[in-house]
Structure 1
Amino acid sequence: MPLPGLLVPRLRRGLALAFVLLVGLGAGVTAGVYADQAYPDQLPLLAPRASAKGLDQATFNRALQIIHNDYYDPRPSYANLSHGTVRGLVEGLNDRFSYYLDPAEYQRQLNSYAGQYTGIGVEVTNNADYPVVDTVFPDSPAAKSGLRPGDVIIKIDGQDVHGQNSDQTSNLIRGKAGTTVLITVDRGGEHLDLPVVREPITIPSVRSVKLEGNVLYIRIYSFGDSTAADFDKALKDGLPGEKGVILDLRNDGGGFIDAAQNVISQFVSSGEAFELRDHSGHVDRHNVSGNPPAASIPVVVLVNANTASASEMVSGSLSAHHRAKLVGTVTFGKGSVQQDFPLPDGSDLHITIRRWFLPDGSSVEQKGLTPTVGAKLANPAEMYDAGKPELGHAKDTQLNAALQLLGVSSAA
């Protein structure tokens, strides 16, 4: 449920998420915030180990002193003050894709990177009003309870969720396995109370189905730890004899750039997949790996407004190399890269460190990708469900448009 993300490749061992050199840099950024000698042992994150040029330490010190001496309710713990201070530093960046996670929040994020958590099995988009269900994972508690894409969540356990952000919504929905959460939704003006029993959830990374006309359909839900291997297997098992590939990246909010690079490399023979640029102007070019198994087969990519970041990287790169046509609606428009910097107390800084660009030098930032063929889906519930292929795709206008591009007249 977080905002769409694109992360640098992780060091696999121990799930350490930051490169060694950048961990040192990150530690330097958090040092020297607090210069008053009164609390260095109690507030280790704020201890004066280095100077911070231009930082108004006097104002910060005075504010902390007032809270410590005069706050009416029980004095907040030093751990909470530390977390709040670092959270405030990140909020000062005015970047919606950079944020601070306390130890519990960070652990939940690690679980989501691995595609595992305890919840109900949905992806939602949070807007200014209420969360909207984008994806209901096959065989999940949400699917069993009757939740559908397009449902507007208005209450969770009786609590109105108007205006809540993704983390707040996620925290209310997730919980211990075996417990029940009551989800109240608005479905076409009708309010429905749906009790859902939380279970351990494993998010599917890739699902594939053979469609009519010898077309291989592959959906990527997110670019996670297992995506590269899962996608390779889907191609290896499904490609022989197929005349075209439909890659469905609708509602895919992104993930790891190494997974995105792997997918691009399955279809492009040579050249640049994408490039990364940091604040100093350094350019890091990422090329395809070569010898792709699907270098010549026609490809159509399905996209929508929730196709973001790593999925835009794949869509845009395949389009720039003239290896795929895009069908759907304009994509999200996220052209930045984030990285996790774990902190000593188990918390985490998740901040933007680079921008990414397509092989032609263009960026999707705040404008997205415009499809080759525009096609709208009137009802999100009509999106083809690869977990239930027996239901067909007769009402999925975007998928049917993709089939037509491949010369297949859909009758499903």
Structure 2
Amino acid sequence: MYEEEKRGFPKIILVILFLVVAIGSFFGGSIYGSLNSPVILPDGGGSSTNDSSFDKLFEVKDVLHQQYYQDIDDEALLEGAIKGMVDAVGDPYTVFFNQEEYQEFQDDGQGNYVGIGVMVGIKEDKIVVITPFEGSPAYEAGIRAGDFILKVEGVEYKGSEMDKAVSVIKGEEGKPVTLTISQNGVEKDVTIVRASITLVNVQSEVVAGNIGHVTMLQFTNNTAKQVREAMEELKAQGAEGYILDLRGNPGGYLDEAVDTASLFVEKGKTVLYTLDKAQQKREYLSKGGDFIGAPLVVLLDEGSASASEVVAGALKDYKAATIVGQKSFGKGIVQMVFNVGNKEGVKVTVSSYYSPNGINIHGEGILPDVEVQLPEGVEAPLTIDNDTQLQKAVEILQDGLQ
């Protein structure tokens, strides 16, 4: 556990939608205070209780209580008012969580889910599938990266209503949910049975004899430690060059991204910096690692976002890796989660982040050094035999090792 966590400081989130839908995520492209130790505001949260501009809120409450023809649940009324206020900010990554949603959000950060097994984000004000996990109910039902989720149980949802859609998609294990999706321009209904999903977050293998391939699904607790251990094991198996596969990785905890980048960046160098609304700058420095200077390729695609882009951006700026694949998603903003009320939370976009060279990729993404598309119609599981991006990464490393 990091020292800052012990002191109760927040863990910063960078993710698209940290939800394996029904999962769950939010996630994201978020990366999503701390799920373990969020920021705790003092009583009153610093708000001005004498602000007369909110008087009409209480006037409306009084009218409802006096005139509505049935009894009113004050807790539901308050939650609705709070969610409406947060939604009015107009940022899909700034969200209020009630007790149940907040607990689910915290559980999501551990990599265990009940849901259909996809990560989703927002594109063109639509809910877009970033990654369907291989073998998940969603994947088996034919859901693929790039599909748009238009409706859930017959109700249409925009990208700005992503959290509402996700709350409907979530449900009891073994129960079905029907999505209306747009896949390659064709609209169709897909019914998926929710299941319990446990993610193996970091996977590794030796390919082509001397190349270590490390795949990361997301940046959850202890991801950087798992990557370091995987790299060390690959090195012991004879790996001389390494591939860090961030394709479809929507992000997660910022500290895990910094620690992952630190494996390849000299100690004390900037991994990224953030700027808040007051233009206050905070730098995140490399802690240094055992693989600085090691031959390295990073694989990206349009599903690589947030924390993934932090790592790729730093390695690209320092020329510590060759970036191969497709342009990344482009989420260059940071969220923190704050404890409020009675075990509730609010996730707020607090700053923009920048690569060591001062590049903010929000809405732009990271361009690969070597652009490679996957073959048309290629299906998972991807292997060295059908994965053209992985093949190019191996080729670049082997050429450099000769």
Match for 1:24 among 31, 42, 47?
42
Deviation at 1:156? 5.0
Aligned to 1:167: 163
Deviation per residue, 1:336-364 (Å, 9 max, x gap): 22111121222211102232222222222
Compared with structure 1, are the counterparts of its residues 60 and 196 closer, same or farther at alpha carbon in structure 2 (3 Å cutoff)? closer
Aligned to 2:173: 177
Aligned to 2:278: 280
Query: Do residues 245 (structure 1) and 263 (structure 2) align?
Result: no
Aligned to 1:78: 74
Deviation per residue, 1:313-340 (Å, 9 max, x gap): 1000111111012122322222222111
Aligned to 1:51: 50
Query: Do residues 111 (structure 1) and 107 (structure 2) align?
Result: yes
Deviation at 1:90? 1.9
Q: How does 1:142-291 map to 2 (within 5 A)?
A: 142-145=138-141, 147-149=143-145, 153=149, 156=152, 159=154, 161=156, 163=158, 165-182=161-178, 196-240=192-236, 241-270=238-267, 271-290=269-288
Q: How does 1:335-346 map to 2 (within 5 A)?
A: 335-346=332-343
Compared with structure 1, are the counterparts of its residues 127 and 319 closer, same or farther at alpha carbon in structure 2 (3 Å cutoff)? closer
Rounded Cα–Cα distance in structure 2 between residues aligned with 1:16 and 1:236:
30
Compared with structure 1, are the counterparts of its residues 334 and 152 closer, same or farther at alpha carbon in structure 2 (3 Å cutoff)? closer
Aligned to 1:359: 356
Query: Do residues 93 (structure 1) and 89 (structure 2) align?
Result: yes
- Give SS of 1:110's match: helix
Q: TM-score, normalised on structure 2?
A: 0.81
Deviation at 1:105? 1.7
Rounded Cα–Cα distance in structure 2 between residues aligned with 1:193 and 1:336:
33
Match for 1:4 among 29, 33, 44?
29
Aligned to 2:346: 349
Counting matched residue pairs gives: 372
Which amino acid in the other structure matches residue 356 of structure 2?
P
Deviation per residue, 1:137-178 (Å, 9 max, x gap): 244334455554455556655x25564643233233322223
Specify every segment of 5 or more residues in structure 1 that has no aligned partner in the other structure, as ranges.
Answer: 33-49
Rounded Cα–Cα distance in structure 2 between residues aligned with 1:162 and 1:51:
37
Rounded Cα–Cα distance in structure 1 between residues aligned with 2:233 and 2:249:
23
Which amino acid in the other structure matches residue 24 of structure 1?
P
Q: Is the 8 A contact 1:213 1:243 kept in 2?
A: no
Rounded Cα–Cα distance in structure 2 between residues aligned with 1:94 and 1:155:
21
- Give SS of 2:171's match: coil
Compared with structure 1, are the counterparts of its residues 333 and 197 closer, same or farther at alpha carbon in structure 2 (3 Å cutoff)? closer
Rounded Cα–Cα distance in structure 1 between residues aligned with 2:85 and 2:186:
43
- Give SS of 2:93's match: coil
Q: Is the 8 A contact 1:128 1:163 kept in 2?
A: no
Q: Is the 8 A contact 2:207 2:384 kept in 1?
A: no
Which amino acid in the other structure matches residue 325 of structure 2?
G
Q: How does 1:315-330 map to 2 (within 5 A)?
A: 315-330=312-327
The structure with higher relative contact order (CA 8 Å, sep 6+) is 2
- Give SS of 2:63's match: helix
Aligned to 2:390: 399
- Give SS of 1:382's match: coil
Rounded Cα–Cα distance in structure 2 between residues aligned with 1:126 and 1:174:
18
Deviates more, 1:328-337 or 1:215-224: 328-337
Q: Is the 8 A contact 1:317 1:358 kept in 2?
A: yes
Q: Is the 8 A contact 1:129 1:162 kept in 2?
A: no
Deviation at 1:185? 5.6
Which amino acid in the other structure matches residue 140 of structure 1?
S
Rounded Cα–Cα distance in structure 1 between residues aligned with 2:157 and 2:84:
24
Compared with structure 1, are the counterparts of its residues 200 and 275 closer, same or farther at alpha carbon in structure 2 (3 Å cutoff)? same
Aligned to 1:36: none
Larger Rg: 1
Q: Is the 8 A contact 1:130 1:161 kept in 2?
A: no
- Give SS of 2:392's match: helix
Deviation at 1:246? 1.5
Deviation per residue, 1:70-106 (Å, 9 max, x gap): 335x343211221122223322333232111222221
Which amino acid in the other structure matches residue 141 of structure 1?
P
Which amino acid in the other structure matches residue 279 of structure 1?
K
Q: TM-score, normalised on structure 1?
A: 0.79
Q: Give the RMSD, CA atoms, in angstroms.
A: 3.0
Which amino acid in the other structure matches residue 276 of structure 1?
T
Specify every segment of 5 or more residues in structure 2 that has no aligned partner in the other structure, as ranges.
Answer: 1-24
Q: Is the 8 A contact 1:205 1:226 kept in 2?
A: no
